[in-house]
Amino acid sequence: MDNAATTNVTKEVLEEMRPYLIDNYGNPSAQYNIGVEAKKAIQKARERVANGIRARPEEIYFTSCGSESDNWAIKGVCEKQRLKDKNKIITTNIEHPAVLNTCKYLEKHGFEVIYIPVDKNGFITAQQVENVIDDDTAIVSVMYANNEIGSIQPVSEIGVVCRRYGVPLHVDAVQAIGNVDINVSESNIDLMSISGHKIHAPKGVGCLYIRNGIDCSPLIHGGGQENGFRSGTENVASIVGFGKAMETTTSDIKNKIDYVKNLRDYLLCNIVDGEFIKLNGSIENRLCGNLNVSFKNCEGESIALQLANYDIYVSAKSACSAGNLEPSHVIKAIEKDENYLYGSVRFSLNEHNTQEEIDYLINTIKKLVIFNQR
């Protein structure tokens, strides 16, 4: 029940990867047969990833993860924009740490960062962006969907504002990919970060979409791989797996969304009572598999550990900040009642979860709720 943290590598993904780990292990920069075959495999994966978001293959650059893609997008664009005396960054106060900490780094290097506050359900509006964007703005970075409470931002509308001002829009779509039908052109997205391990590819592979015409500095200098933007020998097998996973997760996405949403809504109706357990965020414009709730006067970490004793795995906050006993910065941004501030738990479902698993979860939570109320 923690698929927002990571997912398993499916058998079909593993089978596509296997030859490039054992037999076709050539360096894709080599000119002999197994090197050429590896190069072709990377190109096929690039096409699959591009098709999944309605982009062009040459706009896809493979990376190691979503955090790397976030760092590259923001730093790479800001480095170029600084040459034009543009030194303002606009983002929100509930971004992933990969974005927030990159912005903090750039603040120390002369950039001004505007953190737009979200409303009680975790949303911002295009008008809020319009209120602060200007000719000095280097980039706007807004996550497509929040990793903790699942709120889906009005990306297309924000993109319209950015286009009007000629400002690149970067979108962290790590949680959205595979859970939202994404069209980068229709959504006015200029750069977008994706991570493979959220959609049944292995850990250690992701990509950055950079729209043709966007000026962005290279991430790694070296032998010229990834069209000179990210040098270094490619992680062929993982890239192949990522391509297969993208093809699979986006091929029947509407039916997947309906199936997972029904599971999530069933869970919601059976555990949220509005008093002891309350929903964080709105049920509308929310990721299909995301359900984030707060247990009154409880610690989310404690609930998560108790559920683990029943072989149920969930998160009390983002996996990237787990272990920190402070309330999640996302929950702090939307919750003012201290009785619920520390008790947040995220359930994140996907298409491999079953009705039987949800029933088991519901019955287990009811046992724990009775225990905690006492």
Bridge partner residues of 2 (DSSP):
348
b or e along 126-150 (b: 16 or more beta carbons within 10 Å of the residue's beta carbon)? Answer: bebbeeebeeebbbbbbbbbbbbbb
Residue 371 tokens, joined: 């225990």
Q: What does 86-153 look like in DSSP terms, one character per residue?
A: --EEEEETT--HHHHHHHHHHHTTT-EEEEEPP-TTS---HHHHHHH--TTEEEEE--SB-TTT-BBP
In the annotation, is 320 catalytic? Answer: yes
d(CA 66, CA 35): 27
Neighbours of 298 (CB within 10 A): 22
d(CA 61, CA 157): 26
d(CA 116, CA 93): 6
**Which one of 65, 78, 288, 320 is the catalytic residue?**
320
With a CB cutoff of 8 Å and minimum separation 6, the contacts of 149 are 94, 122, 280, 281, 286, 290, 292, 330, 331, 334, 346
Rounded (5°) CA angle 277-283-288: 110
d(CA 351, CA 261): 10
| Residue positions annotated with a catalytic role | 320
